Structure 1
Amino acid sequence: MFFESSFGYNGFHFFVALPGIRNFFHGGHFAVATFFVISGYVLSAKPMSLIHAGEQAKLADNLGSALFRRWLRLYIPVIATTFIYMTMVHCFGIWIEGRTTHATYFEEFCAWFSELKNFSFIFHQGLISWLTYNFHLWSIPTEFKGSIVIYTSLLAFSRCSRNIRLWCEAGLVFYFLYIVDAWYCALFTAGMLLGDLEQLAARDELPAFIAQFRPYKTFIFYHLFAFAMYLGGCPANRSEVEELRKNPGWYWLSFLKPRVMHDSKWFFLFWAAVFLVSSTPHIPWLKRFFETRFCQYLGRVSFSLYLVHGPVLWTLGDRLYAAVGWPKESRTANIPQWVDIFKLPMTGPMGLEVAFLVPHLILLPVTFYVAEVVTRAFDEPSVRFPQWLYKMASERPARLPA
């Protein structure tokens, strides 16, 4: 709870709860929001350049290819990794907290398949579809929905004039954020709008209203980055706005939340992610950091890290935490052979205890190794295979001579 609350919540003061610091300890939702903005930016980059160039025929081909490939690109790695995880857990009898394995492998397979087929259909009625074999993957259907929003919006706005297109993109952001509770669509659309503005700026074709701020861009973007770091640490221990107001530093901000939005954190994470993505390319030292070889490597394996970090934590992580002395009744009852076999001191600030940091000397390289394997085995092929399939499907057979 203290990781998800602001500094001073209920009179408790922890280093990990300080503004900006908390993002490194419990910034998963901030990362999701940022990824959605980046997705909208990247997915629209090539089509937007074709719109600016007036290449309507090429735009239609590009969007058709992108939409054809998108489902396969997202779901092939999901299907492969969850199948392997399900098989490994069942066949080796690995205890996973909160999970009950079925009596036979066939029953386990049927349960996995039943969940997966529902998970793969994004137009089902109701709330977010959870995949119990890896509940971190809840954002995959959301990613696909956002992709469809981007592709259809690009097609709809492709013949609009510059100013009308920008107003339509901004109008969509407002609609998704303030009229309906579709924060994820707002994030994708905001990424598309940022990409449009970046390309217009590169061509020196920004509207005069925006171009007049160019002399002050350093001042503006540094402040946007600071706002992003603060808003990215939005308290998330409860979704109700009344709970948000109990957190120091968030009372007055809570009144900005639209009435339509159910979970208050996503409103502030929207602005945090938009500010972060828009400011990063314009802050030289931050841009250089993200262009380092290590960050480029993280970008290459990021999808695989997202897919495997949960299973690694639930299998190896739980056992390492038990071994170094983190108490939990479920571990004592189900994996007693691991409990306290290498007990370490709990000294240190919250989130930086010795017994917490040492297991990650093993967990981190194992996670990177598994992510590298998944990248080569499933992630990269999930890019090449849909491209090959689309090429095969779209090639027209040569006409026979008369």
Structure 2
Amino acid sequence: MFLFYCGAVLAELDLVRDAETDPATTAIPAQPAGDRPGGDPHRQRRRRTCASLWWWRLVSFAALYLMSQPDFGADETPGWVFLSGLVPDCWADDGYRHWQSVGAVLFVAAVARLPGWQALFNLAPARYLGRVSYALYLVHGPVLHTAGYLIEMRTFAITTAGGQMITDRGYVAGFALGVAFIVPIVVWAADVFWRAVDAPVVRLARRLEARARPRDDGLRDCVFQLGFPLINMCLFVGILFCG
């Protein structure tokens, strides 16, 4: 739930930033050179932009490190001993998710401000995975608990001589061989779910939204600016106090 709310906040901040950087509202009026206090405003803006890019680059790499928190033995892993001690007690049951979650939020925030990362995630494979991401989230569990574990047993039996010779190399080979079969099955199942369920439901929701949307622009803006934040706040308070 923490990640869902952070995603909503990041999306809202992205809309605010786009509005603030609109050329129609942020254009610098032309002034004579002698009337410009503090130097050329265009040069100052370029410097601020360059500094901002470098800052968000550092944030993105730090976020990647946080997302690599080991699932097990982090308190004994070099580079993670100190960070593991900072995990709050409320995360005790899922301590490995704490820094992974923080890193995910920071990475998404950084990607929204870095054209280099955006170019990578705008490639066709990444865009496709983005479209089916919710379907992947829904179907990966059922697929793993049906075909996945069966395939895993077969691959480990091949690479470890039926469990008689369990070595690090055999374990890694069995895992890689299993992934080669399981991942395509998961993606295929997600694609089927996306085409058969997810996309039609989204189209239906958009049609219902279009019919329910107020015709008065002022009323519509009031609903979007006040109604939705109020609903989100009520949900957040309910989750906070009711678990």
Q: TM-score, normalized by length of structure 1?
A: 0.40
Displacement of 1:233 in angstroms is 2.2
Work out which of the residue numbers 197, 203, 207 in structure 1 matches 2:17. 197
Q: Deviations over 1:325-345 (max 9, x none)?
A: 3xxxxxxxxxxxxxx4xx234
Take 1:244 and 1:323, find their aligned partners in 2: how far apart are those partners?
30
- Contact 2:135 2:198 survives alignment (8 Å): yes
Q: Percent identity?
A: 26
Take 2:205 and 2:5, find their aligned partners in 1: how far apart are those partners?
25
Displacement of 1:362 in angstroms is 2.2
- Contact 2:3 2:105 survives alignment (8 Å): no
Letter in 2 for 1:222: R
The 3 A distance-change label for structure 1 pair 256 and 349 is same
Q: TM-score, normalized by length of structure 2?
A: 0.62
Q: Deviations over 1:289-309 (max 9, x none)?
A: 211111111111111111111
Work out which of the residue numbers 55, 77, 82 in structure 2 matches 1:220. 55
Q: Deviations over 1:37-69 (max 9, x none)?
A: xxxxxxxxxxxxxxxxxxxxxxxxxxxxxxxxx
Q: Is 1:375 paired with 2:194?
A: yes
- Contact 2:6 2:105 survives alignment (8 Å): no
Take 1:381 and 1:281, find their aligned partners in 2: how far apart are those partners?
28
Letter in 2 for 1:250: W
Q: Is 1:344 paired with 2:162?
A: no
Q: Is 1:230 paired with 2:65?
A: yes
* Equivalent residue pairs, number: 191
Letter in 1 for 2:140: H
Letter in 1 for 2:122: E
Matched with 1:69 is none
Matched with 2:131 is 300
Q: Deviations over 1:221-241 (max 9, x none)?
A: 22111110111123444xxxx
Matched with 1:312 is 143
- Contact 2:10 2:109 survives alignment (8 Å): no
Matched with 1:321 is 152
The 3 A distance-change label for structure 1 pair 255 and 344 is closer
The 3 A distance-change label for structure 1 pair 202 and 235 is farther
Matched with 2:103 is 272
Displacement of 1:216 in angstroms is 0.6
Q: Deviations over 1:3-36 (max 9, x none)?
A: xxxxxxxxxxxxxxxxxxxxxxxxxxxxxxxxxx
**Secondary structure of the structure 2 residue equivalent to 1:364:** helix
Matched with 2:31 is none
- Contact 2:139 2:186 survives alignment (8 Å): yes
Take 1:392 and 1:198, find their aligned partners in 2: how far apart are those partners?
28
Gaps of 5+ in 1: 1-141, 143-181, 206-210, 238-242, 326-339, 397-402
The 3 A distance-change label for structure 1 pair 271 and 347 is same
Take 1:261 and 1:321, find their aligned partners in 2: how far apart are those partners?
30
Specify which structure has the higher proportion of helix. Answer: 2
Displacement of 1:281 in angstroms is 4.1
Take 1:268 and 1:385, find their aligned partners in 2: how far apart are those partners?
37
Q: Is 1:355 paired with 2:174?
A: yes
- RMSD of equivalent CA atoms: 3.7
Take 2:9 and 2:56, find their aligned partners in 1: how far apart are those partners?
20
Displacement of 1:244 in angstroms is 5.9
Take 1:350 and 1:217, find their aligned partners in 2: how far apart are those partners?
46
